[in-house]
């Protein structure tokens, strides 16, 4: 303040001693600068308020904590508030400047691109895994992507490194390491390598195995693309040019989810790589000469194993009659596909509530939400509020303390506290969480480290 009044008094003194012509020149020089400075401050403080509002909204929705996946931590002492990181983030609105300091204003939208870290002029940003409240289990890998269990390799997000480009690159490199390892091993075992998962990491590894004529099999519990296939419709995918085995340099940097999956689908056809879809690895046993991988229908004896199963896990099933029908899914892809239909959503977490809300907003739908408890203790208050409002408005049928008894072609039956309820049904969405891979890794003897905000 003192400095400012000194500046103004100096200016007034300068204008009083200057002749009229000089004073005019000084003012024509200073007025545009002052105006530009005023506009800049106004825009900045407006943005500051918007960022604060976004941060508060995320907090209120229970999404204020940093994600457990790779995310930036910003050292407030070294941050200049220059907003270079804000502009560099490909997801937009993840970082914002509040009171001259950058911070995560929409943490749950961070997917770990790391562009913020690369552009920060003062090195104030570090990338970490896990947070103070929730740790993330990361298997320990050597530089060849091999775990402490010989012959067991891990690539992609399961190893802690997210992003499509990294997963593709790791899948290729891990398979090159598998190739080197199996070169000197016994040949009585029928498979050189079993690859589990056909997301970006597993797909790239499969292409590499195919290129080198290894005896391989790839098992995928769902379809090609992994997590990418579950991105919201039309999501813009940010990636970087990468080398895909057999196919060569892929130059995508910004594309849509649909275009990327279509490209991979064509690459699959062109290369002749073979992937067993809808084939889930159930168990892995270690043997003296490798591993035995079991699925519901087959058993594979292999020298080496590459786990490229990401971190989403395997969707938990209900285990009821009729669950094997195609109308039963474990994730909502597109609410519009349920227009004019009778739909049952099962679960009490955020994904169940969000699925039920979005379907209930589609014209002509009759939505029932079934949950085994009597309250939604695991969901965000905002989602619970929306569910209750939809139920009160008659847009949704809420069945608490209920479980699914049976799923028929045109109906579904719920067990209620007192009796049963048989309803018309065209589709069932089960959001009962996932079975995570960590316990299986521990059983196999893989060393795991839990990260709480470190890399
Ligand atoms: C909302 C969202 C947006 C994102 N946006 C971007 C983006 O714009 N750019 C970017 O680079 N990254 C993005 N990512 C991150 C990116 O999707 C992941 O880092 C990447 O998909 C990891 O690849 P992966 O192959 O390791 O695992 P995944 O893609 O998860 O694939 C794992 C595969 O293994 C299969 N599998 C699991 N268990 C079994 C089993 N028991 N048997 C058989 N198969 C099994 C799964 O079905 C799945 O297909 C985003 C992530 C999310 C959640």
Domain with 191 in it: what CATH number? 3.50.50.60
C-alpha Rg value of the chain to the nearest Å: 28
Q: What is the band of 3 on the pLDDT scale with cuts at 50, 70, 90? A: low
Residue nearest to atom 5 of ligand 1 (CA): 237
- Ligand 1 atom with minimal separation from the 165 CA: 11
Q: Does residue 318 lie within any of the structural domains?
A: no
Q: How many CB atoms lie within 10 A of CB 307?
A: 29
Q: How far is the CA of 225 from the centre of ligand 1 (A)?
A: 7
**CATH code for the domain of 9:** 3.30.70.20
> Quick check: 180 pLDDT over 90?
yes
Q: How far is the CA of 231 from the centre of ligand 1 (A)?
A: 9
Q: Does residue 322 lie within any of the structural domains?
A: no
Q: Give yes or no: residues 60 and 207 share one domain.
A: no
Question: Which of these, 67, 246, 262, lies nearest to 168 by C-alpha position?
Answer: 246
Q: Give yes or no: residues 44 and 154 share one domain.
A: no
* 163-174 pLDDT tens trace: 999 999 999 999
User: What pLDDT, on a 0 to 100 scale, did the predictor assign at position 5?
Assistant: 58
Find out whether the beta carbon of 221 lies less than 6 Å from any atom of ligand 1: yes
Q: What is the band of 4 on the pLDDT scale with cuts at 50, 70, 90? A: low
Q: Give yes or no: residues 302 and 160 share one domain.
A: yes
How much of the chain exceeds pLDDT 90, in percent? 71
Lowest mean pLDDT among 55-59, 388-392, 412-416: 55-59
State mean pLDDT over 281-299. 95
Q: What is the band of 64 on the pLDDT scale with cuts at 50, 70, 90? A: confident
* 79-113 pLDDT tens trace: 999 999 999 998 888 999 999 999 999 998 888 88
DSSP 159: G
Find out whether the beta carbon of 453 lies less than 6 Å from any atom of ligand 1: no
Q: Give yes or no: residues 124 and 166 share one domain.
A: no
Alpha helical stretches, state H, 247-328? 257-271
Half-sphere exposure of 189 (CA within 13 A, CB side): 26
Ligand 1 pocket test target in 94, 139, 197 with most atoms within 8 Å of CB: 197
Find out whether the beta carbon of 114 lies less than 6 Å from any atom of ligand 1: no
User: What pLDDT, on a 0 to 100 scale, did the predictor assign at position 173?
Assistant: 95
Q: How far is the CA of 406 from the centre of ligand 1 (A)?
A: 31
Q: Give yes or no: residues 3 and 53 share one domain.
A: yes
Q: Is the separation of the CB atoms in 229 and 203 below 8 Å? A: no
Q: Give yes or no: residues 277 and 376 share one domain.
A: no
Q: Does residue 321 lie within any of the structural domains?
A: no
Q: Give yes or no: residues 143 and 256 share one domain.
A: yes
> Quick check: 320 pLDDT over 80?
yes
- Ligand 1 atom with minimal separation from the 226 CA: 49
> Quick check: 67 pLDDT over 60?
yes
State the Cα–Cα distance between residues 412 and 425, nearest whole angstrom.
6
Which of 128, 158, 184 is the C-terminal boundary of a domain? 128
User: What pLDDT, on a 0 to 100 scale, did the predictor assign at position 303?
Assistant: 96
Q: Give yes or no: residues 165 and 193 share one domain.
A: yes
Q: What is the band of 1 on the pLDDT scale with cuts at 50, 70, 90? A: very low
* 110-125 pLDDT tens trace: 888 899 999 999 999 9
Q: Give yes or no: residues 151 and 262 share one domain.
A: yes
- Ligand 1 atom with minimal separation from the 158 CA: 26
Residue nearest to atom 10 of ligand 1 (CA): 163
Q: What's the mean pLDDT when you consider all of the chain?
A: 91
User: What pLDDT, on a 0 to 100 scale, did the predictor assign at position 202?
Assistant: 98
Residue nearest to atom 48 of ligand 1 (CA): 226
Find out whether the beta carbon of 146 lies less than 6 Å from any atom of ligand 1: no
* 16-25 pLDDT tens trace: 877 777 777 7
Q: Is the separation of the CB atoms in 445 and 151 below 8 Å? A: no
Find out whether the beta carbon of 280 lies less than 6 Å from any atom of ligand 1: yes
Residue nearest to atom 2 of ligand 1 (CA): 231
- Ligand 1 atom with minimal separation from the 90 CA: 8
User: What pLDDT, on a 0 to 100 scale, did the predictor assign at position 185?
Assistant: 74
Q: Does residue 320 lie within any of the structural domains?
A: no
Which of 128, 154, 185 is the C-terminal boundary of a domain? 128
Q: Does residue 346 lie within any of the structural domains?
A: yes
* 24-42 pLDDT tens trace: 777 788 888 888 888 888 8
Q: Does residue 85 lie within any of the structural domains?
A: yes
> Quick check: 61 pLDDT over 90?
no
Q: Is the separation of the CB atoms in 208 and 245 below 8 Å? A: yes
Which of 111, 128, 145 is the C-terminal boundary of a domain? 128
Q: How far is the CA of 169 from the centre of ligand 1 (A)?
A: 14
State mean pLDDT over 406-413. 98
- Which residues lie below 8 Å from residue 143, measured CB to CB, with a gap of 6+? none
Find out whether the beta carbon of 166 lies less than 6 Å from any atom of ligand 1: no
Lowest mean pLDDT among 230-234, 399-403, 428-432: 230-234
Structure tokens at 384: 């619970």
Residues in the chain: 455
Q: Does residue 118 lie within any of the structural domains?
A: yes
Q: Give yes or no: residues 164 and 257 share one domain.
A: yes
Ligand 1 pocket test target in 219, 226, 282 with most atoms within 8 Å of CB: 226
State mean pLDDT over 69-80. 95
Q: Give yes or no: residues 106 and 149 share one domain.
A: no
Find out whether the beta carbon of 310 lies less than 6 Å from any atom of ligand 1: yes
Q: Does residue 398 lie within any of the structural domains?
A: yes
User: What pLDDT, on a 0 to 100 scale, did the predictor assign at position 381?
Assistant: 81
Q: Is the separation of the CB atoms in 58 and 98 below 8 Å? A: no
* 367-386 pLDDT tens trace: 999 999 999 988 888 889 99
Q: Give yes or no: residues 411 and 446 share one domain.
A: no
Q: What is the band of 59 on the pLDDT scale with cuts at 50, 70, 90? A: confident
Q: Is the separation of the CB atoms in 122 and 80 below 8 Å? A: yes
State mean pLDDT over 175-202. 92
- Ligand 1 atom with minimal separation from the 236 CA: 8
Q: How far is the CA of 364 from the centre of ligand 1 (A)?
A: 33
Looking at the 3D structure of the chain, how many domains does it have?
A: 3
User: What pLDDT, on a 0 to 100 scale, did the predictor assign at position 40?
Assistant: 84
| Domain that includes residue 423, residue range | 328-433
């Amino acid at each position: 303040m003192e400095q400012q009044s000194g500046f103004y008094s100096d200016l007034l003194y300068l204008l009083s001693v200057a002749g009229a012509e000089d004073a005019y020149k000084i003012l024509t020089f200073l007025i545009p600068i002052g105006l530009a400075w005023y506009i800049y401050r106004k825009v900045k403080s407006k943005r500051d308020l918007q960022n604060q509002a976004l941060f508060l909204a995320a907090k209120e929705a229970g999404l204020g904590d940093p994600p457990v996946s790779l995310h930036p931590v910003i050292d407030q002492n070294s941050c200049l508030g220059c907003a270079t990181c804000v502009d560099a983030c490909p997801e937009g609105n993840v970082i914002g400047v509040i009171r001259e300091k950058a911070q995560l204003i929409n943490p749950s939208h961070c997917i770990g691109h790391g562009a913020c870290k690369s552009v920060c002029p003062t090195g104030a940003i570090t990338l970490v895994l896990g947070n103070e409240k929730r740790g993330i289990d990361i298997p320990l890998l050597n530089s060849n992507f091999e775990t402490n269990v010989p012959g067991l390799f891990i690539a992609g997000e399961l190893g802690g490194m997210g992003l499509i480009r990294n997963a593709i690159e790791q899948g290729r490199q891990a398979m090159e390491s598998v190739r080197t390892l199996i070169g000197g091993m016994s040949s009585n075992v029928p498979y050189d390598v079993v690859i589990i998962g056909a997301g970006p990491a597993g797909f790239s590894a499969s292409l590499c195995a195919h290129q080198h004529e290894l005896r391989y099999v790839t098992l995928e519990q769902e379809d090609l693309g992994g997590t990418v296939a579950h991105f919201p419709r039309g999501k813009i995918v940010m990636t970087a040019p990468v080398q895909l085995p057999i196919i060569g340099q892929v130059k995508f940097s910004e594309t849509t989810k649909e275009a990327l999956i279509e490209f991979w689908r064509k690459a699959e056809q062109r290369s002749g790589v073979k992937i067993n879809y809808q084939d889930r690895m159930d168990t892995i046993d270690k043997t003296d000469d490798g591993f035995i991988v079991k699925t519901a229908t087959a058993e594979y004896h292999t020298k080496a194993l590459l786990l490229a199963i990401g971190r989403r896990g395997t969707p938990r099933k209900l285990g009821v009659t009729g669950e094997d029908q195609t109308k039963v899914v474990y994730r909502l892809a597109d609410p519009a596909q349920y227009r004019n239909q009778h739909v049952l959503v099962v679960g009490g977490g955020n994904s169940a509530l969000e699925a039920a809300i979005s379907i209930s907003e589609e014209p002509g739908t009759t939505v029932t939400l079934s949950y085994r408890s009597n309250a939604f203790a695991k969901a965000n208050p905002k989602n619970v509020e929306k569910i209750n409002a939809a139920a009160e408005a008659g847009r949704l049928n809420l069945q608490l303390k209920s479980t699914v008894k049976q799923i028929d072609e045109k109906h579904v039956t719920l067990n209620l506290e007192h009796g049963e309820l048989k309803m018309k049904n065209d589709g069932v969405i089960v959001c009962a969480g996932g079975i995570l891979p960590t316990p299986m890794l521990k059983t196999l003897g893989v060393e795991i480290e839990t990260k709480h905000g470190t890399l």
